[in-house]
Structure 1
Amino acid sequence: MLSKQDMSKRAQIGFFSLEDLVPQDHLLRQIDQCIDFSFIYELVKEKYDEIQGRPSLDPILLIKLPMIQYLFGIKSMRQTIKEIEVNIAYRWFLGLSLEDPVPHFSTFGKNYTRRFKGTDLFEKIFYEILEQCIAEGIVDTSEVFIDSTHIKAHANRNKKESVEVMEQAVFYTDKLTKEITKNREKHLKKPLKETNAESKTSLKKRSTTDPESGWFHKGEHKEVFAYSSQVACDKHGWILGYTTHPGNFHDSRTFVSLFNKLKGAFPLEKLIMDAGYKTPAIAQLLLEHKLTPIFPYKRPMTKKGYFKKHEYVYDDYYNCYICPNNKILSYTTTNRKGYIEYKSNPKDCKNCPFLSKCTNSKNHTKVITRHIWAEALETCEEIRHQSWFKELYKKRKETIERIFGTAKEFHGLRYTNQIGIEKMHMKIGLTFACLNMKKLAKIKRIRAQKRRFPKGKLPNLSIIHRILHRKKTNLIFV
């Protein structure tokens, strides 16, 4: 029988409670039960005048607006406001009744510009929510995974200009300079002349739409303006910290800003990172802090057909290298970049049968460099050969890589409509705060179910399933 729906129900009038219209298992209801947002009042207290005037919008409601946007991956604040107008769960989460007017889409942007711009409010919100997760005893910082991800900027890749910019300073410059001077004195070499570091510039591409973004290229076809976010998480996937940088900043140089946040806040033991962080400076930094750096194998950057560096044996006692033809490469100097140079004797190399696989220099001299902190990398290689290394490194795809995938696929972090690094930092912080809130809500829901149905007392679903599929059974459930 063909049935037709009665469309007159659209005009139905009734008495309903907003509390009853939101499902008990809705994500926003679970988040509201497990997260206490009252800390926001204290954080924004100084941003509001004490003089009585026009009533302001509740700051918790104001912060919840972008949270809804990032939590459900809505593209813009304009679209978010449209969704709130018709979504009962969104209204309930914000504390709005069915009759209350929804704030204009420009409300958050105006308040951000007038009150929150230039502050670390949103980073404080992230860490306050993280503290509530830590209070549940479910965060373990003994194994911390660190990686970066790129977020496409709101900038046309064709609208760019070439400008002279200062070279990015490295965090270990002063320390490395002292080590270089000490090493040269040890080998009776004169100290290097001081250079004007401020005069070092290079030609970079800059967006005319968003000048604070960076030109990011990965492969032959992926060249866009983007931002980079350094992120750390524990072995259970809890996000512990984040930083925001232009997309053309290398991971090895931006690492220290995230590390400084972590070392003072959490008891760290092992840091697991990819090959982009495998540099002598980072290895030395972590070992000095008595941490265990976990790096993967990094392929030697040697031309095809030539001897690899590991085929030249280093003699620590005599401070020299021995080539595959058993000839010695002696110490010559220590350069400004912190590399110790070892050179062969041209007389030994001239008639060497392996010359074509060793060097193609005109004066038949092979040069091998060894960083001042090379011992730190060698220690990392010893750690890499431990039996537990592979299983631990595999957890990256279950933790940090899964976070990036989830944030980009479901929470709108693949690209941004924000302009400027400060707004990007806000967007990234609230997005990761939402991920932690979702995780906490899920864990608390599972715990509640276990308390309701202790082990061994769960209903026998298989029996109910068989009963419902009996052909001659007519059951009525009340």
Structure 2
Amino acid sequence: MLKKQDMSKRNQIGFYSLEDLVPQEHLLRDIDKYVDFSFIYQLVEDKYDQSNGRPSLDPVMLIKLPLIQYLYGIKSMRQTIKEVEVNMAYRWFLGLDIQDSVPHFSTFGKNYSRRFKGTDIFEQIFYGILAQCIEAHLVDTSEIFIDGTHIKAHANNKKYESKEITEDTLFYVKSLQKEVEIDREKQLKKPLKRKEKSEINTKVKKISKNDADSGWFHKGEHKQVFAYTTQVACDKNGWVLGYTTHPGNQHDSRTFISIYNKLKSHFTLNKLVMDAGYKTPGIAHLLFQDNLTPIFPYKRPMTKKGFFKKYDYVYDEYYDQYICPNMKTLTYTTTNRDGYREYKSNPHDCMTCSLINKCTQSKDKRKQVQRHLWEDDMERCEDIRHSIGMKSIYNNRKQTIERLFGTAKEFHRLRYTNLIGKEKMHMKIGLTFACLNIKKLAKILKLRDLEGSIFLSIFNYLPKLIIGYKKDNPITLNE
């Protein structure tokens, strides 16, 4: 039978409690019950004038506004306020009554520029939430997964200017220079001349006119955009342990040191699991110096197709030379500024060699192989990779760090941003990953309570069950 909805119910008047309008199974109820936001008052206390002025908006409610935005993947703060106006669960979570006026959408932005800009308040909020996860004994830092992902910036790809920019020095440059000097001295080579200011590495890069803090990111031939990159670390259970924010044109091997220093200051490290982008001599040397176990995958040699790979040239440690596939030797010539020892073949051997077309295309018919001063650390990484159980640990990246990125981009709007500037971007990334930890913490603690209540109910019911069984079936001494 066809039924038509009675639209006159819209005008009915009733008495309702806001508590009754929010479903008992709502996620925000679980978050409100199991996550403590009171630590925020202490963090922002010095940002408010305690003696003068009218009463401010509750700081916890102010922080909960962007948390709702990133938790539910709402496009902007303006849209978030519109959602709060009509969503009873959002009002309940913020502590607003049905008749209370909702803050203007510019309120958070003004508080950010006046109170929070230039501070690490949002990073402290992230670590305050993480501390509650640690207190619940949910975090396991025996295996830490590190990876980076790109986030499209709020910038027009066609509005840019090209500028010559000095590249930042790598974190291991000073220690590498010392080892280069020591090695050249051992080989009776003259010390290298120091670079003049005019010789410092510079590159011409695209600078966005909309967002100068972003970087020109290109992946393949098709994907070329202005973007940010974030380095993220998580444990084996998928809890986010730290994050950093950088322009999109910086490589993972350059940005690694910032996330690594943060992890060292907060946790005791053991195993670090990273992809091939981090597999460099500098990173491997640093981790072994700190007595850590790096777990890297196989990295394909960057060699032209049809030519011998570097592993086809065998290093003879005793004589400090390489042996080519035709059993000829490549002897040491020098140690360059980048920390590579150079080994070169005898041109007379190469000119008569039948394998030269697979070996080199140099005009002087001479093959050169380079070996880094920290190549032993790279070989040690390979030994770890072939150890029992390391492959299965590396494969857990799919369930941990990669799943985090997928969830954050698909459900929490981290695929792109409408914020401009590295500082605001850092805030968004921190609150988004705080939301992931919050959501997970509330769900797990709720399950703990449910399991405990079920266990207690069974435990209380068990004596009655046993007594009833004894009455119906008397137990003999033999039993």
TM-score when normalising by structure 1: 0.94
Q: Compute the RMSD of aligned alpha carbons.
A: 1.3
Matches within 5 A, 1:392-403: 392-403=393-404
Matched residue, 1:122: 122
Deviation of 1:7 after TM superposition, in Å, equals 1.6
CA distance in structure 1 between the aligned counterparts of 2:313 and 2:265, rounded to whole angstroms: 41
Q: Secondary structure at the match of 1:359?
A: coil
Unaligned runs of 5+ in 2: 460-479
Unpaired segments of 5 or more residues in structure 1?
459-478
Query: Partner residue of 1:461?
Result: none
Asked if residue 171 in structure 1 is aligned to residue 171 in structure 2, the reply is yes
Change (3 A) 1:402 1:455: farther
Match of 1:350 in 2: 351
Instruction: Determine the C-alpha separation between the residues in 1 that align with 2:171 and 2:148.
Output: 18
In structure 2, the partner of 1:80 is: 80
Alpha-carbon offset, residue 197 of structure 1: 5.4
Q: What aligned pairs does 1:297-376 form with structure 2 within 5 A after superposition?
A: 297-376=298-377
CA distance in 1, matches of 2:404, 2:457: 34
Q: Distance in 2 between matches of 1:397 and 1:12?
A: 52
Matched, 1:89 2:89: yes
Q: Among the aligned pairs, what percent are the same residue?
A: 68
| Residues 1:53 and 2:53 are matched in the alignment | yes
Query: Shift in Å at residue 140 of structure 1?
Result: 0.1
- In the TM superposition, 1:412-431 aligns within 5 A as 412-431=413-432
Letter in 1 for 2:436: L
Query: For residue 150 of structure 1, what is the aligned residue in structure 2?
Result: 150
Query: How far does residue 457 in structure 1 lie from its aligned partner after superposition?
Result: 5.1
TM-score between the two structures when normalised by the length of structure 2? 0.94
SS at match of 2:231: strand
Distance across 1 between alignment mates of 2:118 and 2:105: 21
Three-state SS of the structure 2 residue aligned to 1:369 is: strand
CA distances 1:212-266 after superposition (whole Å, capped 9, x unpaired)? 0000000110000000000000000000000000000000000000000101211
**Structure 1 moving runs of 4+ over 6 Å:** none
* Secondary structure of the structure 2 residue equivalent to 1:397: coil
Distance 1:43 1:435 in 2: 21
CA apart distance, 1:281: 0.4
Q: Which amino acid aligns with 1:62?
A: L
- SS of aligned partner of 1:230: strand
Amino acid at match of 2:378: L
Residue type at the aligned position of 2:43:
L
Q: Which structure 2 residues correspond to residues 106-255 of structure 1 after superposition, within 5 A?
A: 106-196=106-196, 199-255=200-256
CA deviation vs aligned residue, 1:112-138 (integer Å, no higher than 9, x gap): 001100000000000010000000001
In 2: Cα distance, 1:387 partner to 1:197 partner: 49
Structural mapping, 1:269-308, within 5 Å:
269-308=270-309
Q: Shift in Å at residue 456 of structure 1?
A: 10
The letter for the 2-side match of 1:96 is L
Q: How far did 1:454 drift?
A: 2.6
Identify which range, 6-15 or 359-368, moves more after superposition.
6-15
Shift of 1:455: 9.7
Q: Match of 2:349, SS?
A: helix
Deviation at 1:421, TM superposition (A): 0.2
Deviation string 1:36-73 (CA, Å, 9 cap, x unpaired) is 11111111111111222122111111100000000000
Correspondence for 1:25 = 25
